Amino acid sequence: MIKHILILLLTINFAFSESIDSNTSTLTDKDSSISLHPYLTTNIIGIGYGQLKGSDYTADIYGVGGDFSITDNIQTTLVNSKSNGEKDVDINIDMNIYSFGLLYNFSPNERITPIIGLSISRSNYEFTYLDNSIEYESLNIGIYTGVDYRINKDFLVNGMVSLDTKTISGDIDIDDSKELSIDIDSTYFFLNDNFSGITMGYSRDFALESDDEDKDESSISLSVQYLMVEDIVLILDYSKSLEDSSNYYGFTANYLF
């Protein structure tokens, strides 16, 4: 299975693909995934928990998901995540997200591996303020392309470009949107035949069809994965927005089979 860290395709935990605050969507678009040796094909299921913190809100995120290899070249992903958050003390936000991803890698047994992918997610929201409630949902469709480059047996670099479209319907009037994302990250494996490693990443999101530069967002991330016992991998994640004080912390427990 090819290594892939910052998009919604090779996930083995939860995906929190929407944001409580527009300035933190870069953080919440992230999902933890295992970085594996590109010559290895396996299946993964996992459960996870994370917390997103900002200056005036906190959100708890729970999820379960699976990454399944159909062939050496094709992987698919199924994810369900739930979140509950509070903003400005009086506003409660509940989210429920279902995601599907399909990834194709052209040369899984080579040092350089081009990748293309597709992701589809449906998100349901409910905002509660005192006795008032507002509900809406969004449909997200994303296409991805990128490359994995294996520098040596211990070091892997990944670059990815994605284009996401969002269609929104419900009780409130929110315009549909498009977003272009650029993700670059590197993984260093230090133990257990590429099951234990550390990943550092950078992500930049550009809001299309908008003159508001404040909607452009970026973040940095750090992820550590460790093979605890045979077939059980624990991942710890941290992400920080470069636009505000938002931080994300999370962990997942994953079973390889």
Q: Domain coordinates of the chain in residue numbers?
A: 22-256
In one-letter notation, the amino acid at residue 212 is D
Q: Which CATH superfamily hosts domain 22-256? A: Autotransporter beta-domain (2.40.128.130)
Hey, what's the torsion of the CAs at 3, 183, 215, 246, to 10 degrees? Answer: 60
With the C-alpha atoms ordered 107, 111, 112, 117, is the resulting torsion angle positive or negative?
positive
Full 3-state SS string of 68-97: EECCCCEEEEEEEEEEEEEECCCEEEEEEE
Specify the pTM: 0.81
The pLDDT assigned to 1 comes to 35
The pLDDT assigned to 20 comes to 40
CB 19 within 8 A of CB 233: no
The pLDDT assigned to 34 comes to 58
The pLDDT assigned to 118 comes to 92
Query: What is d(CA 53, CA 56) in angstroms, rounded to the nearest whole number?
Result: 8
φ/ψ of 171, rounded to 5, equals -80, -15
pLDDT tens string, the chain, 257 residues long: the values are 333 322 222 333 333 334 444 433 444 444 445 555 444 567 888 898 888 887 777 888 888 888 888 888 888 888 888 888 777 666 788 888 888 889 888 887 788 989 999 989 888 888 787 777 778 788 889 998 999 898 888 888 999 999 988 887 776 666 677 888 999 999 898 876 667 899 999 999 888 765 455 567 888 999 999 888 888 888 899 998 888 778 888 888 988 88
The pLDDT assigned to 9 comes to 27
Structure tokens at 223: 């992820």
The pLDDT assigned to 77 comes to 85
